[in-house]
Structure 1
Amino acid sequence: MSQRNALVTGVGRSAGIGAGIARVLAAEGWDLALSYWHPYDERVNQASSGAEEVSALAKELEQRGSSVVTLPADLEDPAAADSLVEQAAEHLGPLTGLVLSHTEGVDSSILDTTLESFDRHFAVNVRASWQLIRAFALQAPDDGGAIVALTSDHTAHNLPYGASKGALDRIAIAAAYELGDRKISSNALNPGPVDTGWMTEEIRDAVQQRQPTGRLGAPADVAGVVAFLLSDAGRWVSGQLIKADGGFSAA
């Protein structure tokens, strides 16, 4: 790729997967647009990740030599996705990488999921992701680019999250075929359970017992796979649902 400019969504918490991906991409020479939405982190993660946390991450990445712009975006808003890509490209130039690590994730089951929650999950995880992929493809340079969408295999007792991630898988795989003539690769990446601060001791112990590596996944583990898929060497991999979970799903 002639340019290495990427938009990474869902970078609201310095301990999160999105931030881990941004750190590895910066180390590999990418210029970055980072999107975040603090009201989500405050509502779901009960985290007080304010603008200062994203600013600190941006400064860290700039010290590694990257140009960085941070962009708040409420992806539940139908107008947000197109605006986000437009702003990112205005600051950096044409984007050649798109990493979808944003999510709406609230546990609920078939009998107790509310209509509001269901609609919000699909607005953020599905509709906005499709809009971001479309906007990314329309502005991509002649030599194309690469898309990586983070997904999950959650199902029971995680109805709106799991169902919306299943829909995201189909969109990411469809993009590989439909955008291939634009020299754009697209993959869905399932990182398995990664402890970014959300695990209780009980969950952490259960996951470690099932994990053949004997350790929990970390954002850096996911980031290395993402960086490969965005690289020139990784772009022949396309249209895949990839599990990069240290063997967790093999149990």
Structure 2
Amino acid sequence: MTEARRPVALVTGVGRRAGIGAALVTALAEDGWDVAFSYWNAYDDRMDWGRDADSAAETTRAAEALGGRAVGIEADLARPEVPARLLAQAGAELGSVRALVMAHCESVDSSILTTTVESFDRHFAVNTRAAWLLIKAFAEQFDAPHGTGRIIALTSDHTAFNLPYGASKGALDRITLAAAHELAGLGVTANALNPGPVQTGWMSPDTERDLARATALGRLGRPSDTADYVRFLCSARGGWINGQLLHSNGGFPH
């Protein structure tokens, strides 16, 4: 008797072990998925937190220790040809992708008065256009049974003084929710998930304190909180949740 093949997920935005993306990879591996994941070191290099040089290798090892196959793929999602290549490489390495979980982002604080055209365009290229092209490529290769496919996009409603990030995430929401209807014939669910403020190393002590105080449960989100929601949505039990903008934020006001 041949061993049943594990379903395959693709998780984008797995640049650092402290991030949400790495928690998603290990949670899905624990739940029986093989996982391809993408990262882009050049983004981390220009952010204050810097590159986590061992992230891809350690995330792969962590997933494999949980019984799954895993492969990390460096991918510049600002380039329009890359999303289709990413799905093709994930398929070649592990098999057709059944769950697409988009945790990647471009996020550089700026306001209406200080945002540059170059930054605005880069945010929309990464956060919006790449998501559309990933969903398109996912749908074109999808061959799993009706009702088993999943698309999940991590989103945000933080717009003031974070204009290009919030605006591009708002457009991401609309694309993701459209997929729930346009891909209905494939039996694929599509939801956008807002995790609220999650401490992954980007907050100052003052910001961390203020956001924790503003949250009804009195603490910040953890990557594992988001991963728990995503693993439920990817399970058979989450299959009736579709076309929704969801929140998993401990009661943070929005």
Q: Which residue of 2 aligns with 1:31?
A: 34
Residue 232, structure 1, aligned to residue 236, structure 2: yes
Contact 1:3 1:96 in 2 (8 A): no
1:58-207 equivalences in 2 (<5 Å):
58-144=60-146, 145-207=149-211
Q: How many aligned positions are there?
A: 248
1:44-63 alignment to 2 at 5 Å? 44-50=47-53, 52-63=54-65
Partner secondary structure for residue 47 of structure 2: helix
Distance of 1:61 and 1:86 partners within structure 2: 21
Query: Is 2-11 or 28-37 further displaced after alignment?
Result: 2-11
CA distance in 2, matches of 1:155, 1:76: 21
Query: Which ranges of structure 1 fall in alignment gaps of 5 or more residues?
Result: none
TM-score (norm 1): 0.96
CA distance in 1, matches of 2:48, 2:138: 28
Letter in 1 for 2:83: A
Partner AA of 2:80 in structure 1: P
Matches of 1:121 and 1:114 in 2, distance apart?
11
Q: Which amino acid aligns with 2:204?
A: T
TM-score, normalised via structure 2 length:
0.95
Per the TM alignment, residue 80 of structure 1 is displaced from its structure 2 partner at its CA by 0.6
Percent identity at matched positions?
A: 52
Change (3 A) 1:45 1:148: farther
* Structure 1 vs Structure 2 CA RMSD: 1.2
Runs of 4+ in 1 over 4 A off after TM superposition: none
Q: Indicate the residue corresponding to 1:40 in structure 2.
A: 43
Equivalent pair of 2:6/2:32 in contact (CA under 8 Å): no
Q: What is the alpha-carbon distance in structure 1 between the residues aligned to residue 48 and residue 28 of structure 2?
A: 25
One-letter amino acid matched to 2:89: Q
Counterpart Cα distance in 2 of 1:174 and 1:138: 16
Contact 1:210 1:248 in 2 (8 A): yes
Q: Aligned AA for 1:9?
A: T
Cα distance, 1:36–1:74 mapped onto 2, change above 3 Å: same
Spell out, residue by residue over 1:7-53, the C-alpha distance to the aligned partner (whole angstroms, 9 max, x if none). Answer: 00000100000001111111111100010000101112431212x22
Q: CA deviation at 1:183?
A: 0.5
Distance in 2 between the 1:48 and 1:107 partners?
19
Correspondent of 2:214 among 187, 194, 210: 210
Instruction: Determine if contact 1:13/1:19 at 8 Å carries over to the other structure.
Output: yes
| 1:3 Cα deviation after fit | 5.0
Distance 1:209 1:142 in 2: 44
- The corresponding residue for 1:12 is 15
Deviation (angstroms), 1:104: 0.2
Is the 2:24–2:227 Cα contact (8 Å) retained in structure 1?
yes
Which SS does the other structure have where 1:143 is aligned?
coil
Q: Judging changes above 3 Å, is the alpha-carbon distance between structure 1 residues 99 and 131 closer, same or farther for their aligned structure 2 residues?
A: same
Distance 1:39 1:151 in 2: 22
Q: Deviation of residue 247 (structure 1)?
A: 1.1
The Cα offsets for residues 129-182 of structure 1, whole Å up to 9 and x where unpaired, read as 000001001111141410000000011111100100000000000000100111
Change (3 A) 1:242 1:64: same
Partner-residue secondary structure (3-state), 1:130: helix
